Amino acid sequence: DAGVIQSPRHEVTEMGQEVTLRCKPISGHNSLFWYRQTMMRGLELLIYFNNNVPIDDSGMPEDRFSAKMPNASFSTLKIQPSEPRDSAVYFCASTLGNEQFFGPGTRLTVL
Amino acid sequence: GENVEQHPSTLSVQEGDSAVIKCTYSDSASNYFPWYKQELGKGPQLIIDIRSNVGEKKDQRIAVTLNKTAKHFSLHITETQPEDSAVYFCAASKRDDKIIFGKGTRLHILP
């Protein structure tokens, strides 16, 4: 298995632009998580899905952030409009039972 | 909700010596305790985990201990090597629930 796949690996954009991050979980895993990591705040859970259904989005910072999981093999995290304070590494992780496996992350820079 | 505290935030040990990272959790219902290692530019990687029905688990140079009464768990790395340098995260969760992470420990192995 290729593990959790994220794209793009790096994204540089200008303030106000829309950003879409993509994730393909490990096949057969039933939960998917989106995290944000910064030096100041560490690893923050943004939202997670069980069987494609959003369960807890309390970590989503504000309405500019949205996430979807249209099927078991794909999820997106969208930021519209983006702001410089959104600059971070965004991780997707998938889980079967308790064991959670992370993707390589997307490093987002908003200028 | 669950709260996981991790200490120390930074740890430097001489190569060949042992390293110990300690965590506490607050929710007595938590029953799964994974440890993750994050190397520079990569996502966190699961290195070992322990469930609440076990007090200790070992995998080569890595061992984890769990004290359910005190709500403490620890990671022990023996005979440390340069490649052990990384950020380590402890975490806690209940079955089929989100994983709560500690803030991380940056481990430096000194030559």
Q: Check CB contact of B40 with chain A, cutoff 8 Å.
A: no
Residue A85, phi then psi, degrees to nearest 5 = -70, -5
Placement of tokens 């669950």 in the chain: B2
pLDDT score, position A96: 82
- Asked if the model's pLDDT at residue A111 lies above 90, the reply is yes
Question: Sorting pLDDT into bands at 50, 70 and 90, what band is A85?
Answer: very high
pLDDT digits (tens, 9 = 90+) for B19-64: 999 999 999 999 999 999 999 989 999 999 999 888 999 999 999 9
Q: What CA–CA distance (Å, rounded) separates B85 from A40?
A: 21
pLDDT score, position A99: 86
Selected for mutation to probe chain B from A31, A32, A41, A43 (highest B CB count within 10 Å) is: A43
What is the three-class DSSP state of A51?
A: coil
Q: Which of B45, B95, B98 sits opposite A48 (nearest CB)?
A: B98
Q: Check CB contact of B32 with chain A, cutoff 8 Å.
A: yes
Q: What CA–CA distance (Å, rounded) separates A55 from A48?
A: 6
Question: Sorting pLDDT into bands at 50, 70 and 90, what band is A108?
Answer: very high
Question: Sorting pLDDT into bands at 50, 70 and 90, what band is A101?
Answer: very high
Q: A45 near B98, Cβ under 8 Å?
A: yes
Residue B60 corresponds to which tokens in the numbers above? Answer: 């080569």
Q: Cα–Cα–Cα angle for B25, B28, B32, nearest 5°?
A: 70
Q: What CA–CA distance (Å, rounded) separates B96 from A55?
A: 11
Answer yes or no: do B43 and A103 touch at CB < 8 A.
Answer: yes
CA distance to partner chain B, nearest, from residue A32 (Å): 10
Q: What CA–CA distance (Å, rounded) separates B85 from B91?
A: 19
pLDDT score, position B1: 81
Q: Which of B43, B44, B93 sits opposite A98 (nearest CB)?
A: B93
Q: What CA–CA distance (Å, rounded) separates B55 from A53?
A: 35
B104 contacts in A (CB within 8 Å)?
42-43
CA distance to partner chain B, nearest, from residue A101 (Å): 7
Residue A97, phi then psi, degrees to nearest 5 = 70, -125
Answer yes or no: do A42 and B101 touch at CB < 8 A.
Answer: yes
The mean of the pLDDT values for chain B is: 94
The mean of the pLDDT values for chain A is: 94
pLDDT score, position A1: 66
Answer yes or no: do A105 and B32 touch at CB < 8 A.
Answer: no
pLDDT score, position B82: 96
Question: Sorting pLDDT into bands at 50, 70 and 90, what band is B88?
Answer: very high
Q: Check CB contact of B57 with chain A, cutoff 8 Å.
A: no
Q: Which of A107, A32, A34, A43 shows the shortest CA–CA distance to A73? A: A32
- Asked if the model's pLDDT at residue A50 lies above 70, the reply is yes
What is the three-class DSSP state of A29?
A: coil
